[in-house]
């Protein structure tokens, strides 16, 4: 389906819907908003917390009562997730790619993916294809003498969660681009996008049929690695989740006491605005984050884990409003550092942690863009732990803007805008070039209109 004509519609609908929302909510105490990071973070935190408490109280229930609702739901889900972990070793649903391609996924499986907010796609790519991409990445790095020129990590984004993964700041290899623009990737991304409600509040917020590229990096973790892993966190945002007007609208039911109406799959207002600027921010709207496995990985070898409860974001957003959190503290969340999920403030959620099942090269792994996740620790890792990060980012006004910057980075071999300015590939002739793009690739970079 064509998207371009609808883009104007979405923008004007957004403005109309915003006005209507303002009118509808005029009875409620308003929220102050900071469209850029506040200069005085602590006083802004105090101010927004007071305003949120007032707004929730106007619903006739206290913050504690509203939080109690979400806490009870989380407790039920944690029990369910723990039971699934005990019975099957994991609460992550798995689906064969062939079922996605043939459209034969049952309603029960779709419901389970929505309930858990995550999915493993078995055989997304042939194992040999994935292993061949892995070898070609090594060749790409070696042929450009990456070992000799690497200058070390370009950001300290993960400082608040305790460790750095083995990330290579490479974006434009043939392996990554072939996977991104493949028919198989488009097929899976369409399914993932369809888990969301893209039409709500009188607007269509994104086109579930068309992807935008969000070029990300690769991880290659060698055998024998001993790693502390990566602490539990979310990537959805930081203080902006409470402080920017677009997020205040996206989470309107969390912030106005109507928590029972909160739907983590409603895309309303999520495709407008962006996060506060930072060294590693996410400008794009991602229905799911994901990676494609380039090696076999055993479940006990330091792999990804999540709290497979999409509603947990509501808990994270309300938790700082309780009385035991200092008035100028958002449970440790601050601008430019990833949003930490910790035992101190969120122990109930962390009881629901669920690790991945064993995965094979060619499987892909997906989790809702708001979902809590981390990486387990490992000692003397058996086998490699190699992945390409490729999310599902559907075409929408926010992603269209980012796709234009991604196209410019692609043309010049630069690091994309959201990432540290390392630019290793600018002089690498054997990177993927404009002529190598197929129709999916051209559409995802905004070079062609989507086919009808
Ligand atoms: Fe993350």
Question: 340-371 pLDDT, tens per residue?
Answer: 999 999 999 999 999 999 999 999 999 999 99
Measure 234 CA to ligand 1 centroid, in angstroms: 6
> What pLDDT, on a 0 to 100 scale, did the predictor assign at position 2?
33
Measure 439 CA to ligand 1 centroid, in angstroms: 30
Cβ within 8 Å of residue 22, ≥6 positions away = none
Point out the least confidently predicted range of 17-26, 110-119, 213-222, 252-261.
17-26
CA-wise closest residue to 240 among 290, 187, 278, 185: 278
Measure 18 CA to ligand 1 centroid, in angstroms: 30
Measure 378 CA to ligand 1 centroid, in angstroms: 18
Measure 353 CA to ligand 1 centroid, in angstroms: 15
Q: Which residue has the higher pLDDT, 164 or 313?
A: 313
Measure 55 CA to ligand 1 centroid, in angstroms: 31
Measure 44 CA to ligand 1 centroid, in angstroms: 26
> What pLDDT, on a 0 to 100 scale, did the predictor assign at position 152?
78
Across the chain, what does the average pLDDT equal?
91
Fold annotation for 4-444: Jelly Rolls (2.60.120)
Mean pLDDT score, 402-422: 96
Measure 26 CA to ligand 1 centroid, in angstroms: 37
> What pLDDT, on a 0 to 100 scale, did the predictor assign at position 26?
57
Percent of the chain with pLDDT over 90: 84
pLDDT digits (tens, 9 = 90+) for 160-206: 554 444 889 999 999 999 999 999 999 999 999 999 999 999 999 99
Measure 373 CA to ligand 1 centroid, in angstroms: 6
Measure 233 CA to ligand 1 centroid, in angstroms: 6
Measure 235 CA to ligand 1 centroid, in angstroms: 5
pLDDT digits (tens, 9 = 90+) for 370-393: 999 999 999 999 999 999 999 999
Tokens encoding 156:
């300290």
Confidence of residue 9 (pLDDT cuts 50, 70, 90): very low
Measure 61 CA to ligand 1 centroid, in angstroms: 34
Measure 290 CA to ligand 1 centroid, in angstroms: 10
> What pLDDT, on a 0 to 100 scale, did the predictor assign at position 449?
65
Q: Which residues surround ligand 1, an ion (CB under 5 A)?
A: 235
Q: Which residue has the higher pLDDT, 74 or 160?
A: 74
Contacts 24+ apart (CB under 8 A), 12-20: 13/202, 13/203, 13/204, 14/203, 14/269, 14/272, 16/202, 17/201, 17/202, 17/203, 17/268, 18/249, 20/202
Measure 313 CA to ligand 1 centroid, in angstroms: 14
Tokens encoding 139:
């060749």
Count the Cβ atoms, other than its own, within 10 Å of residue 428: 16
Mean pLDDT score, 48-57: 97
Measure 374 CA to ligand 1 centroid, in angstroms: 7
Q: Above 50 in pLDDT, residue 11?
A: no
> What pLDDT, on a 0 to 100 scale, did the predictor assign at position 15?
46
Measure 426 CA to ligand 1 centroid, in angstroms: 26
> What pLDDT, on a 0 to 100 scale, did the predictor assign at position 128?
98
Q: Above 90 in pLDDT, residue 273?
A: no
> What pLDDT, on a 0 to 100 scale, did the predictor assign at position 74?
98
Measure 356 CA to ligand 1 centroid, in angstroms: 15
> What pLDDT, on a 0 to 100 scale, did the predictor assign at position 340?
95
Measure 112 CA to ligand 1 centroid, in angstroms: 22
Measure 58 CA to ligand 1 centroid, in angstroms: 35
> What pLDDT, on a 0 to 100 scale, did the predictor assign at position 157?
54
Measure 24 CA to ligand 1 centroid, in angstroms: 36
Measure 369 CA to ligand 1 centroid, in angstroms: 9
Measure 337 CA to ligand 1 centroid, in angstroms: 11
What order of strands is seen across the sheet that includes strand 339-340? Answer: 339-340, 230-234, 373-375, 304-306, 354-355
Measure 162 CA to ligand 1 centroid, in angstroms: 13
Measure 168 CA to ligand 1 centroid, in angstroms: 15
Measure 8 CA to ligand 1 centroid, in angstroms: 32
Tokens encoding 87:
């019975």
> What pLDDT, on a 0 to 100 scale, did the predictor assign at position 166?
84
Cβ within 8 Å of residue 97, ≥6 positions away = 121, 122, 123, 124, 184, 187, 188
Measure 111 CA to ligand 1 centroid, in angstroms: 24
Measure 85 CA to ligand 1 centroid, in angstroms: 22
Measure 357 CA to ligand 1 centroid, in angstroms: 19
pLDDT digits (tens, 9 = 90+) for 239-270: 999 999 999 999 999 999 999 999 999 999 99
Mean pLDDT score, 100-122: 97
Q: Above 50 in pLDDT, residue 289?
A: yes
Measure 315 CA to ligand 1 centroid, in angstroms: 18
> What pLDDT, on a 0 to 100 scale, did the predictor assign at position 17?
47
Mean pLDDT score, 113-117: 98
> What pLDDT, on a 0 to 100 scale, did the predictor assign at position 274?
82
Mean pLDDT score, 306-323: 98
Mean pLDDT score, 12-31: 58
pLDDT digits (tens, 9 = 90+) for 424-439: 999 999 999 999 999 9
pTM: 0.92
> What pLDDT, on a 0 to 100 scale, did the predictor assign at position 22?
52
Phi and psi (nearest 5°) for 442? -65, -40
């Amino acid at each position: 389906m064509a998207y371009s004509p609808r883009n104007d519609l979405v923008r004007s609908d957004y403005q109309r819907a915003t006005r209507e929302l303002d009118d509808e909510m005029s009875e409620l105490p308003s929220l102050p908003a900071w469209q850029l990071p506040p200069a005085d973070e602590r006083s802004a935190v105090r101010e927004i917390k007071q305003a949120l408490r007032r707004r929730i109280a106007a619903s006739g229930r206290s913050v504690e009562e509203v939080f109690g609702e979400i806490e009870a739901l989380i407790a039920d889900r944690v029990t369910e997730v723990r039971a699934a972990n005990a019975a099957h070793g994991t609460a992550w649903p798995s689906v064969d790619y062939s079922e996605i391609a043939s459209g034969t996924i049952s309603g029960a499986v779709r419901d389970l993916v929505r309930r858990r907010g995550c999915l493993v796609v078995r055989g997304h790519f042939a194992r040999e294809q994935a292993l061949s991409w892995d070898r070609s990445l090594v060749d790409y790095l070696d042929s450009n003498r990456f070992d000799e020129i690497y200058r070390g990590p370009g950001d300290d984004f993960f400082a608040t969660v305790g460790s750095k993964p083995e990330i290579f700041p490479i974006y434009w290899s043939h392996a990554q681009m072939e996977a991104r623009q493949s028919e198989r990737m488009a097929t899976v991304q369409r399914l993932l996008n369809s888990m969301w409600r893209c039409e709500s509040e009188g607007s269509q917020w994104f086109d579930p049929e068309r992807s935008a590229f969000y070029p990300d990096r690769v991880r290659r973790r060698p055998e024998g690695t001993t790693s502390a892993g990566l602490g539990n966190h979310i990537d959805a945002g930081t203080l902006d989740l409470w402080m920017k007007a677009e997020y205040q609208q996206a989470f309107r039911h969390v912030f106005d006491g109507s928590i029972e109406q909160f739907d983590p799959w409603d895309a309303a207002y999520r495709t407008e605005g962006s996060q506060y600027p930072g060294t590693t921010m996410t400008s794009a709207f991602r229905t799911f984050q994901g990676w494609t496995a380039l090696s076999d990985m055993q479940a006990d070898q330091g792999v990804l884990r999540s709290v497979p409860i999409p509603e947990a974001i509501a808990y994270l957003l309300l938790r700082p409003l309780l009385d035991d959190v200092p008035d100028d503290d958002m449970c440790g969340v601050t601008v430019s550092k990833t949003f930490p999920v910790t035992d101190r403030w969120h122990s109930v959620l962390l009881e629901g942690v669920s690790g991945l099942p064993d995965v094979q090269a060619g499987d892909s792994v997906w989790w809702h863009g708001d979902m809590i996740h981390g990486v387990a620790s490992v000692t003397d890792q058996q086998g490699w732990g190699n992945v390409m990060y490729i999310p599902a980012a559907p075409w929408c006004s926010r992603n269209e803007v980012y796709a234009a910057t991604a196209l410019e980075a692609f043309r010049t071999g630069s690091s994309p805008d959201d990432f540290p300015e390392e630019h290793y590939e600018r002089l690498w002739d054997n990177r993927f070039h404009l002529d190598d793009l197929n129709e999916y690739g051209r559409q995802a970079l905004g070079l062609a209109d989507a086919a009808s």
